[in-house]
Each structure stands twice: as C-alpha cells, then as structure tokens.
Amino acid sequence: MAHLNPDQFVDIAEGVVADTDVPHLATCVECRRQLADVRAVISETAFAEAGAAPEPSPLFWNQLSARVRDAVAEDTASTRSWRERLLRPHVLVPSFAGMLAAAMFVLLHRGVLLAPPPPPATSQVSALAAAPLPGAAAPASLPALELSLPPLGDANDPQLDLVADYGDTLGWDEMRDEIALSAPAASSDAVVGALSADERRELQRLLADEMAQPAVPENRS
C-alpha cells in the first residue's frame, strides 16, 4: 500500500482527518513515525512562540500610521504623471521648439540627403588624390549616405544654392544683423597674430590678389 502524501499528513496532524479514518496508519510504522514528527514540530513551534508575539508600545501604531501618511503624501507629490509634467509651459514650450527645429532641419536638408550623387571626379588632381598610396590598403567603402553627398564646395553642391538664394533676398547689413556677424575692435589683429608664418604668407598672397582685381561698383544695399 502507498504511503501517505504531504496533504494527508498535514490534514491528519491538524485534526482535519481523524487517524482512525486512515487505515494505512495502523499498518505502517514509517508513516506513524513521520506523523509523530510532524505533530511534534507543530507543537514545538506553537509552544515556543505562544505568548511571545511582539507587542510594541501602544504609541507605535499611531507613529506607524503617521509614517505611512507622510510617505504616501511624499510619493503622491513626487510621482505626478508624465503627462502632467509635460504639459507644464516651461517644459512644453522648449520641447515644442526643439521638435520644430528638428523638423525644419530635416526639411532643409532633405534636398541634400536625397540629391543624386555627383559625377565622378575626372581631374588629374582628383584622380591622384583618390588613388591609394603604394602599399596602403584599399579604403573601405563609404556608407551610402556619404556617397550621395557632393564634396563641399562642388559646383553641384545644393548648399551653395541655398546660400545664394539667401544672398539674393537679403542685403549685407540685413544679413549681418540676422546672423549676428560682427567682430569686436582689434579682433582681426588678434586673429592675424595667431596665424603661423605660412598662414600669414598665404593671407598676404590672397589680399594682394584681391587688391589687384579691378574695382567693381557696389550695387548691393
């Protein structure tokens, strides 16, 4: 005959089922021994803790209630919903402005990003620059996005068109005001002072070239 299972042991030990209702107990020494152990542990545990239930000071209960009340109030104050926080003006306005700026940026650059790739460079200099150095590893292929962008300053660069469009619609003074292009006095001296000898020579050459050009009557204002 099968031994008793844990359910039966617990039910018999707790008195839910009488010993006499389980005939197996009368014939099985092992189950009787195990049942006696279960009863002994229950009795021991109950005896050891009987009357030893912790009873704090009567004042403790009100203190506990007050602590809970404070914790709930603090939690309520600090866990406002994100919607509520987002709708506050000092959060909403900068967020909206940021999203608007991002949208404008994407719109303005969409033409650049979607522009067809420029024709391959054919000049000798470009070919020379593109050729790998002897013994050097072949350059890794560029990501598709970079390939679609023309080189900076290329004749087909749509960014230049954008600048030209702005230039046609704005006067110089107006543009300077728009982009806050101004320099403090003596700043040019400071910039020139920071140039290296080679850079100064190049600057001199550029200025000399510029001054050698015939004067053009100013027609922008």
Partner 1 sequence: MWALPVPAVRTGELALDELDESQLVTACLAGRAGAFDLIVERHRRPVYQLCYRFVGNHEDASDLSQDVFLRAYRGLKSFRGGSSLATWLYRIAVNVCLNRVAVKKPVLENIDARQYVDTDRESQVDRVLRKERGVQVRAAIAQLPPKQRATLVLRMYQELSHEEIAQVLGSSVGAVKANFFHALGNLKKILGAQDLT
Q: Residues interacting with partner 1, by CB under 8 A?
A: 6-7, 9-11, 36-38, 40-42, 44-57, 60-61, 64-65, 67-69, 71-72, 75
In the bound complex, what is the minimum distance in angstroms from residue 90's beta carbon to partner 1? 27
Which residue, 74 or 199, is less far from partner 1 as judged by CB?
A: 74
In the bound complex, what is the minimum distance in angstroms from residue 26's beta carbon to partner 1? 20
Cβ-based neighbours of 112, under 8 Å, separated by 6 or more:
149, 158, 159
In the bound complex, what is the minimum distance in angstroms from residue 17's beta carbon to partner 1? 12
Burial of 53 (0-12, 13-18, 19+ CB in 10 A): exposed
Is there a contact between 24 and 3 (Cβ–Cβ < 8 Å)? yes
Which residue, 65 or 187, is less far from partner 1 as judged by CB?
A: 65
In the bound complex, what is the minimum distance in angstroms from residue 73's beta carbon to partner 1? 10
User: Phi and psi of 103, rounded to 5°?
Assistant: -65, -40
Token representation of residue 50: 């009987």
Within 10 A of 4 (CB to CB), how many other CB atoms are there? 20
Which residue, 67 or 201, is less far from partner 1 as judged by CB?
A: 67
The Cα 135–Cα 28 span in angstroms is 90
The Cα 18–Cα 47 span in angstroms is 23
Which residue, 47 or 166, is less far from partner 1 as judged by CB?
A: 47
In the bound complex, what is the minimum distance in angstroms from residue 11's beta carbon to partner 1? 8
CA angle 156, 157, 158 (to 5 degrees): 105
In the bound complex, what is the minimum distance in angstroms from residue 77's beta carbon to partner 1? 13
Residue 150 is given by DSSP the state P
Which residue, 73 or 203, is less far from partner 1 as judged by CB?
A: 73
Which residue, 43 or 126, is less far from partner 1 as judged by CB?
A: 43
* Side-chain-side CA neighbours of residue 71 (13 Å): 6
